[in-house]
């Protein structure tokens, strides 16, 4: 999984998945703050109790694009740009987006597992960002970054330090409002991605076009079955007309004949 690709932050292509993700995050932040309606946080953020009790499964993705404050947004988008740009250059946009969502959803799943009764929303892309840090540390372990924008440190050690800080925070101050478990969960799913070939194979097979084709095929099968059912009902209705006249038909039977004529 480690290659000889040299990280470069001078990516000139502006139509990248990273830039699109940044634009979406900023747009969602602006819209939510213009509406000034806290219910959006409960609807789009990850609320573990709602995901379980009301099957609000979309929150496993939508929470990645909701941020609690300006600095929360700025820091996450800066990290996404710094590390995501290099990974997208190395992998390509499709694989990058799949990995980003995989770690982000994984972070959300970990939050639900450890706080399934919580009614407080988890928001932000931090879990997916931590997944990017893990990927960067595995692919470019000797790269030097400024940890906290101050301390120069090799990426392999920086990732360990950040994981340790989050683990300590999760154990010592679980009610602080910081989603330590989500951060660790994103890192864990990122690590599993690199260490488990089966996970990489399954994710590599994912395709929007293939998914759309599958839905189309299922829809066609459903339509064919519906036509078969209608034809059977029409035969029964025609027999009834021949025996008792058209006036004997019920409203529903007339609707079936009308639907048949349209088909």
The catalytic residues are 126, 183
Q: CB 166: neighbour CB atoms within 10 A?
A: 22
Determine the Cα–Cα distance for residues 53 and 51; give it in Å rounded to an integer.
Answer: 6
Question: DSSP letters of 98-155?
Answer: HHHHHHHHHHHHHHHHH-TT--SPB-SSHHHHHHHHHHHHHH-TT-EEEETTTEEEEH
225 to each of 213, 221, 262, how far by Cα in Å? 18, 6, 16
Q: How many CB atoms lie within 10 A of CB 85?
A: 21
Q: What Å distances lie between residue 109 and 26, 67, 112, 116, CA to CA? A: 24, 18, 5, 10
Q: What is the dihedral of CA 6, 9, 15, 19, to 10 degrees?
A: 120
């Amino acid at each position: 999984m480690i290659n000889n690709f040299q990280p470069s932050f001078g990516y000139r292509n502006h139509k990248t998945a990273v830039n699109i993700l940044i634009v979406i995050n900023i747009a969602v932040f602006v819209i939510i703050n213009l509406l000034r309606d806290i219910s959006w946080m409960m609807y789009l953020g990850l609320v573990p109790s709602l995901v379980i009790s009301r099957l609000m499964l979309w929150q496993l993705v939508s929470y990645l694009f909701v941020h609690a404050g300006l600095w929360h947004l700025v820091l996450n988008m800066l990290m996404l740009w710094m590390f995501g740009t290099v990974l997208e250059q190395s992998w390509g946009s499709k694989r990058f987006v799949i990995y980003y969502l995989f770690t982000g959803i994984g972070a959300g799943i970990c939050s639900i597992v450890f706080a399934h009764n919580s009614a407080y929303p988890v928001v932000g892309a931090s879990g997916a960002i931590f997944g990017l840090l893990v990927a960067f540390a595995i692919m470019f372990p000797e790269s030097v970054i400024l940890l906290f924008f101050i301390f120069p440190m090799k990426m392999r050690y920086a990732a360990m330090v950040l994981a340790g800080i989050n683990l300590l925070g999760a154990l010592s101050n679980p009610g602080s409002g910081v989603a330590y478990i989500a951060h660790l969960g994103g890192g864990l799913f990122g690590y599993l991605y690199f260490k488990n070939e089966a996970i990489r194979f399954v994710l590599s097979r994912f395709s929007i076009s293939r998914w759309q084709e599958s839905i189309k095929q299922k829809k066609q099968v459903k339509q064919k079955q519906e036509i078969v059912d209608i034809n059977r009902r029409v035969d029964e209705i025609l027999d009834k007309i021949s025996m008792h006249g058209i006036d004997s038909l019920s409203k529903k039977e007339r609707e079936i004949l009308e639907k048949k004529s349209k088909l």
